[in-house]
Chain A
Amino acid sequence: MKFFCALIAIIITVYANADALNIKAIADVKTVNNEDSIERGRIVFFQCRTCHYVEKNYGHHNGPNLYGVFGRVAGTAAGFSYYSEAMKNAGKAGFIWSPALLDIWLANPRTMIPGTAMVVFNLSAQQRADLIEYLQAFHD
C-alpha cells in the first residue's frame, strides 16, 4: 500500500510538471525539419524493435504494439498479456501516454514508474525527440 501511494504521488507529480518539463526537454532539440526527424527516429527506434512493433498489422512482440500509442491508457493495449503490475497500476491511476510523458519516461525510466518490465536505453534529448516524431506518424 505504501508503494502504491508513492506511485500515485509520482504520477501526480509528473502530471503537474509535465508541461514545464516538456518545455525544458524539447527546447534544446531540433525537430524543425519534420521529415528529417522522422527518418532519424526510424533509426533510433530500431533498437526498440527488440520488443516493439509500431506497424498496425504486426501485432505484439515482447512488448505491446505501439501503433496509436499516444492517448492510450498505460498498460491497456488489447491482447497484450505481459504487462508488469507497475505498468497496469499506473494506467489505473490515470496515466495516459503523451509525447511529453514518453519523453520524461525515456529519460527517467526507473524513477518515473519503478518496477516495470520495460527495457529503456540511454538516449540523448535529440534522439528522444526524433523517436517521438517517428512514433507519432503511426496512428489511424
Chain B
Amino acid sequence: MEFDGGDDLIPGNATRRDFLRKMSVAASAAAITGAASSQPLRQREIKNWDASADVVIVGAGAAGIAAAIEARRYRVKALVLEKFDVAGGTSSLSGGVCYMGGGTPLQQALGFADSTENMYNYMVAAAGIHAPRDRIQAYCEGSQEQFDWLVANGVRYAQKFSAEKEVSRADASLYYSGCEKVFPYRDNARPAPRGHLPPTDDLTGGRSLMRALLTSAANLGVALTTNVSVERLVQAGDGAVIGVEVIDNGERRRIRARNGVVLAAGGFIHNPSMLQRYAPELNRCSAPWGRAGDLGMGIRMGMSVGANALRMNQGFVILPLYPPEDALKGIVVNLNGQRFVPEDAYYGLMGYEIAYRQDGRAFLIIDATTDYAPQDYRFKLAAHADSIAALEAALKLPTESLQRTVDYYNRFAQAGQDPLYQKSPHYIAPLIKPPFKAYDLDLTRAFCPVVTVGGLHTNLNSQVIHVEGDIIPGLYAAGRTAASTVLARYIGSGMSIGEALFAGRRAGAHAAQIKR
C-alpha cells in the first residue's frame, strides 16, 4: 500500500482504515514483492461474479487501448480497467513518437526510401545481442499497416520532415529518432527516418495520439472504467486465467473474463523496491519517467501465476546531451579518461552506455570554441581549467589519461576525422581553446529520465509464457508489462509506443477470437 500516498490520513475514513487492517496479513507476503499481495484467487473461492466481459484489459495506455480496439473488431465485449482518474497511460505524457518504417506513406511522401529488410537490418544491429529476431521481423512486416491503422483511428501526421536530432518544431511529423545515421549502424542499413509523431505546439504528441485512440475506442464500443485498480488474477483449476479481482471505490469486486485478461499496466519505474531488487542500474538514475501507475502490478500478477519474466534489469535510459547539438562537438569520457561511444549517438544509446557499461558515470569535455553552456537544469559543471592536464587533475582522472584521449582526438579532428567512433563531420572539432570545461554526467545527478523495459515473457500473440515454457491460457501482456523488442540498447524513440501498439493489438485480436 506504499503508493497510496496517505489516503489513510483522512480523519473519519474508517472504511479505509479497516481495509488497511485487513490488508495487514497480505502485507507480510508483500514484503517479498514490495507491494500488496498479488496472489491469484482460485475459481472455487468465487461464489459469484460482479461483472463480466469477453476481454478484460488492465490499463488504459497505448497497449491496453490498442488491445481493446482490436478486440472490438471481432464484436466481443472489451472492458478496460484504469487504476487512475485519467486514461492514456504514460503514452499520453510522451512525445507520441511511433517507430515505423519499411516505406510508410509518410516516408514515401517525403522522399525517403526504406524497406522491410532495411528496417530489420537496422533494428537488429541497434538492438544487439538481446534482439528477438522473430519479433523484430514481425514488427517490421507489420509496420506499414500499423501506420494505416493509426491514421484509420484518427491519428494525424503532417507531411513535414525535421532534420533535428530531437524534434522541437511544432509542425514536423518525421525524423531520425534513433542511431540510423550514427556509426556503425549507418553501415548496417541505409539510414531512413522512422520516428513518426503527431505535430504539436508544445511537444505533447502523446496527448494527441492517445486522444485519438481513446476517441476511436469509445466510438467502437469499448467500455472504459477509471479509478478501478486490478489487484489479483482469478485462476481456474487448470491454470487458465478467467478473471480479475479489483478494488472499485473501496470495494473488492470480481470480474469474469470469458476469453482472456490482457495485462497492459505499464512497467515498474515507480516501484522503488522492485527497482532495487531487479534493476539497481535504473534505481540510481535521477528521473523515473512515466505516469504514477508504473508500479509493476501487471508484472507481479503475471508472476503470481507462474509467468516468466525477462530482462528485468533493463531500462530505457535517456541522457539528453542535445539539444543544443553543439554539445556533440565535445567528447564524452569515462573515469579512465577514455571515450566509449560516438558522442552523436541517439540519447538512448548514450544513456545505455553510461548506465550499463560505465557504472553510471561519465563527463562531457568541451572547450571555449564550442558555444555550449547549459544554463538549464540538466548538467552541472564538474570542473573547468586552462589546460587539459589541469582539468584531468581536477576530475581526479588517471595521470595523462584524458591528455592522451584529447591529443589523439585532436590530431584527427583537425582534418575533420574521428577514426575511433566516426562521429559525423558536422560534430567534429578539435578541443584547443581554453578554458576547458567538464560537465558531470553522473546519472544520479544529471537529468536522466528512465523507464523499465523488462517484463513478462510473451509469444508473438502476446500470450504470457509460464516459467516451464507453456502458454498460460487466458493471459496476455503488452506494452511495458511485457518484455519485447524494447531493450536497454534502445533502438530509437517510438519503440516503446510502437511495441505497445504491436503487442496490444495482437493480444486483443487473439483473445477476441479464442474459443473457450
Contacts and interface: CB of A to CB of B under 8 A. Distances in A.
Contacts of A121: 270, 288, 292
A62 B207 contact: yes
A47 B287 contact: yes
A61 to B, nearest CB: 6
A55 B374 CA distance: 13
Counting chain B residues whose Cβ lies within 8 A of the other chain, the interface size class is 20 to 34
Contacts of B290: 50
A136 interface: no
Contact of A110 (B2, B7, B287, B291): B7
Contact of A108 (B6, B84, B85, B287): B6
Contacts of A108: 5-7, 9-10
A115 B447 contact: no
A119 B288 CA distance: 13
B380 to A, nearest CB: 8
B201 to A, nearest CB: 9
B26 to A, nearest CB: 19
Interface string A108-140: 111100111101111000000000000000000
Does more than half of chain A's interface fall in helix, strand or loop, or is it mixed?
A: loop
B202 A120 contact: no
Interface in A21-70: 42-43, 45-47, 49-51, 55, 59-62
A46 B5 contact: no
Contacts of B92: 62
A120 B3 CA distance: 10
A107 interface: yes
B93 interface: yes
Contact of B289 (A50, A82, A109): A50
Interface of A: 42-43, 45-47, 49-51, 55, 59-62, 82, 84, 107-111, 114-117, 119-122
A119 B294 CA distance: 12
Contacts of A61: 202-204
A51 B445 CA distance: 19
A110 B86 CA distance: 12
B103 interface: no
Contacts of B86: 117
A125 to B, nearest CB: 11
Interface in B54-89: 84-86
Interface of B: 2-3, 5-7, 9-10, 84-86, 92-93, 202-204, 206-207, 270, 286-292, 376-377, 444-445, 447-449
Nearest to B271: A122
Contacts of A84: 85
A9 B6 CA distance: 19
Contacts of A43: 286, 444-445
A59 B6 contact: no
Nearest to B293: A119
Contact of A50 (B3, B84, B93): B93
A122 B5 contact: yes
A46 B292 contact: no
A109 B376 CA distance: 28
29 contacts: A45-B377, A46-B287, A46-B377, A46-B447, A49-B287, A49-B377, A49-B447, A50-B289, A50-B290, A50-B291, A51-B93, A55-B377, A61-B202, A61-B204, A62-B204, A62-B207, A107-B5, A107-B6, A108-B7, A108-B9, A109-B5, A110-B85, A111-B6, A114-B85, A117-B85, A119-B84, A119-B292, A122-B5, A122-B270
A60 B202 contact: yes
Nearest to A46: B287
Contacts of B85: 84, 110, 114-117
A66 to B, nearest CB: 12
A55 B287 contact: no
